[in-house]
């Protein structure tokens, strides 16, 4: 029985990366742009029902909700070649269509006002699932709708579906360029609070790193949003491969989370993917092996979080957990030999208070998508250096807050009407200064003294298989 997952695409960024994600899934499962199974898609063994369901006319419909407060992006989707793919009852655009004005408080307030309409859509999708496992939220933390309304939906899901897993793909703003959104630091910090308290797993996608990878690795001088969104969709599809092409282990979302998150607050994950190619490079790709893929996944230049590459003292940055999803026809003995080589070369530096293990999940590649490489890999990892990304968010926030800049934009809304901004100030600085690789709270935010034990309770007693670099058998 499939463990269904409902995807929520919120805001401009969320809907754009969600669109690319569904394009990729349609290609991998042999589904046409109209949702019809192609004639050549005769091979079984995949679980399309995790992310799709079949309508009465047998065409496949994504288990997705397209949500926005302004119509531009959703209109472009509805006018695209994939306009017949989605369930039009699962599309929500605010009646006024004015958006959130890049204001977290506006997005949150409007989310509260339209909660009933959106939750009815979510309930309808949940009721149509045989065994709902959880939700995936695609959004940006810097704007107004993805951050504000996305934050409200996180709280609503945590309240109504407290036993279901909530994973997010959260796009962080580019720290190297001047943003058009002057209140971006406020929006980011307010969203980080909700991600910490209400999400079970957050996959961090840093626009700074995505642009760096596009320029340095793909040799694209001026990457567009469409090109960086393509990188995000590659990560999203690869991270769900074991769910859609199930194997012996990691074949559901809970299994992935259990293998990566040792404590409830250490749920912010970094990603890496290799090999990355563009059309003109397809014919000149190098030979790929399991060892080559796993070695490259540990290199800073392939990590999609910029702080990792610029950590001043890299020797102090350590892994908490690693899961490598290897796609292709791979002999398990190659995996074991590769893990032994990584151990001998000491390529992965782990924290002292946890197991020094690289977990490996092997997955089939889609038979309907031809790639130039034989083996590809995705790394999902919890790493102490991610705290540097949060430090940047704090630093930018403090610069604005000291000047009391743009606070009137937030005081217009009920939750900030009393001029009490203490509740949304995130006191991260003390925890970051005291954090060490030996302590399991490197990523912990001091928002409150207690945290939800939802994940721990759900994962309690679950046996998770690992391939340990100290000498595990595969």
User: What is the domain extent for residue 81?
Assistant: 4-269
Q: How confident is the model at residue 353 (pLDDT cuts 50, 70, 90)?
A: confident
User: Using one digit for the tens of pLDDT, what is the confidence trace for 360-384?
Assistant: 999 988 999 988 888 999 999 999 9
Contact predicate 379/298, CB 8 Å = yes
Q: How confident is the model at residue 308 (pLDDT cuts 50, 70, 90)?
A: low
DSSP string, 190-237: HHHHHHHHH-SEEEEEEHHHHHHHHHHTS--SS--HHHHHHHHHHHHH
Six-digit token pair at 127?
């009721």
Q: Are residues 292 and 175 in the same domain?
A: no
User: Using one digit for the tens of pLDDT, what is the confidence trace for 262-307?
Assistant: 888 889 999 999 998 764 454 455 678 999 999 999 998 899 998 6
Q: Are residues 69 and 194 in the same domain?
A: yes
Kindly list the distances between the CA atom of residue 432 and the CA atoms of 51, 311, 387, 473, in Å, as whole numbers in the listed order. Answer: 38, 14, 7, 37
Q: Are residues 95 and 175 in the same domain?
A: yes
Would residue 249 count as lying in a domain? yes
Would residue 458 count as lying in a domain? no
Closest C-alpha among 180, 164, 143 to residue 68? 143
98 CB neighbour count, 10 Å cutoff: 12
pLDDT the model gives residue 280? 42
The rounded distance, in Å, linking the Cα atoms of 67 and 14 is 9
The rounded distance, in Å, linking the Cα atoms of 48 and 335 is 28
Q: Mean pLDDT throughout 335-348?
A: 93
Would residue 326 count as lying in a domain? yes
Q: Are residues 190 and 334 in the same domain?
A: no
User: Using one digit for the tens of pLDDT, what is the confidence trace for 68-121?
Assistant: 999 999 999 999 999 999 999 999 999 887 889 999 999 999 999 999 999 999
Would residue 355 count as lying in a domain? yes
Compute the mean pLDDT over every residue in the chain, rounded to the nearest whole number: 84
Identify the weakest region by mean pLDDT among 20-34, 295-309, 339-353. 295-309
The rounded distance, in Å, linking the Cα atoms of 25 and 73 is 20
Q: Are residues 263 and 310 in the same domain?
A: no
Q: Are residues 149 and 126 in the same domain?
A: yes
pLDDT the model gives residue 423? 56
Does the pLDDT value for residue 315 go beyond 90? no
Would residue 397 count as lying in a domain? no
Contact predicate 143/183, CB 8 Å = no
Q: Total structural domains in the chain?
A: 2
Q: Are residues 227 and 300 in the same domain?
A: no
Q: Are residues 253 and 303 in the same domain?
A: no
The rounded distance, in Å, linking the Cα atoms of 447 and 428 is 9
Does the pLDDT value for residue 439 go beyond 70? no
For residue 166, give the CATH number of its domain: 3.40.50.1440
User: Using one digit for the tens of pLDDT, what is the confidence trace for 202-243?
Assistant: 999 999 999 999 999 889 988 888 899 999 999 999 999 999
pTM of the predicted structure, to 2 decimals: 0.89
> How deeply is 241 buried, as exposed, middle or buried, from its count of CB atoms within 10 A (0-12, 13-18, 19+)?
buried
User: Using one digit for the tens of pLDDT, what is the confidence trace for 135-182?
Assistant: 999 999 998 999 999 999 999 999 999 999 999 999 999 877 666 788
Would residue 468 count as lying in a domain? no
Q: How confident is the model at residue 257 (pLDDT cuts 50, 70, 90)?
A: confident
Would residue 429 count as lying in a domain? no
**Which of 384, 417, 447 represents a domain boundary (last residue)?**
384
Q: Are residues 231 and 278 in the same domain?
A: no
**Which of 366, 384, 402 represents a domain boundary (last residue)?**
384
Q: Are residues 93 and 158 in the same domain?
A: yes
DSSP tag of 2:
-
Would residue 430 count as lying in a domain? no
Q: Are residues 284 and 379 in the same domain?
A: yes
Q: Are residues 355 and 333 in the same domain?
A: yes
Q: How confident is the model at residue 421 (pLDDT cuts 50, 70, 90)?
A: low
> How deeply is 419 buried, as exposed, middle or buried, from its count of CB atoms within 10 A (0-12, 13-18, 19+)?
exposed
For residue 313, give the CATH number of its domain: 3.30.1330.20
**Which of 251, 269, 287 represents a domain boundary (last residue)?**
269
Six-digit token pair at 117?
């309409």
């Amino acid at each position: 029985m499939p463990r269904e997952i409902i995807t929520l695409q919120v805001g401009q960024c969320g809907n754009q990366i969600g669109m690319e994600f569904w394009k990729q899934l349609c290609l991998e499962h042999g589904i046409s742009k109209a949702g019809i199974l192609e004639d050549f898609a005769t091979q079984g063994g995949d679980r399309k029902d995790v992310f799709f369901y079949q309508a009465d006319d047998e065409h496949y419909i994504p288990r997705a909700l397209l949500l926005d407060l302004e119509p531009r992006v959703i209109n472009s989707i509805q006018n695209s070649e994939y306009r017949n793919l989605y369930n039009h009852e699962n599309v929500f655009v605010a009646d006024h269509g004015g958006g959130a004005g890049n204001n977290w408080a506006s997005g949150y307030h409007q989310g509260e006002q339209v909660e009933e309409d959106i939750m009815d859509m979510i309930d309808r999708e949940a009721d149509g699932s045989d065994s709902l496992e959880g939700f995936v939220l695609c959004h940006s933390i810097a704007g107004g709708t993805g951050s504000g309304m996305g934050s409200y939906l996180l709280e609503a899901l945590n309240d109504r579906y407290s036993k279901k897993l909530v994973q997010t793909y959260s796009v962080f703003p580019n720290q190297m360029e001047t943003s058009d959104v002057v209140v971006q630091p406020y929006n980011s910090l307010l969203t980080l609070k909700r991600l910490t308290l209400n999400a079970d797993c957050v996959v961090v996608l840093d626009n700074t790193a995505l642009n760096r990878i596009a320029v340095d690795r793909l040799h694209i001088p001026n990457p567009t949003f469409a090109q960086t969104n393509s990188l995000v969709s590659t990560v999203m599809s690869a991270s769900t491969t074991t769910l859609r092409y199930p194997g012996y282990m990691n074949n559901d979302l809970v299994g992935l989370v259990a293998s990566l998150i040792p404590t409830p607050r250490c749920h912010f994950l970094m990603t890496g993917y290799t090999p990355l190619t563009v059309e003109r490079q397809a014919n000149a790709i190098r030979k790929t092996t399991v060892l080559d893929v796993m070695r490259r996944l540990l290199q800073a230049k392939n990590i999609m979080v910029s702080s990792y590459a610029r950590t001043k003292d890299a020797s102090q940055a350590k892994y908490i957990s690693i899961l490598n999803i290897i796609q292709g026809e791979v002999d398990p003995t190659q995996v074991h030999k590769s893990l032994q080589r990584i151990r001998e070369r000491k390529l992965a530096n782990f924290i002292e208070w946890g197991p020094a293990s690289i977990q490996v999940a092997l997955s089939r590649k889609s038979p309907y998508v031809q790639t130039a490489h034989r083996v590809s890999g995705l790394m999902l990892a919890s790493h102490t250096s991610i705290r540097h990304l949060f430090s940047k968010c704090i630093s930018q926030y403090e610069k604005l807050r000291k000047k009391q800049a743009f606070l009137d934009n937030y005081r217009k809304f009920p939750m900030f009407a009393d001029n009490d901004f203490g509740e949304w100030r995130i006191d991260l600085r003390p925890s970051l200064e005291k954090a060490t690789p030996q302590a399991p709270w490197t990523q912990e935010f001091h928002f409150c003294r207690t945290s939800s034990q939802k994940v721990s309770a759900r994962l309690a007693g679950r046996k998770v298989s690992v391939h340990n670099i100290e000498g595990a058998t595969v």
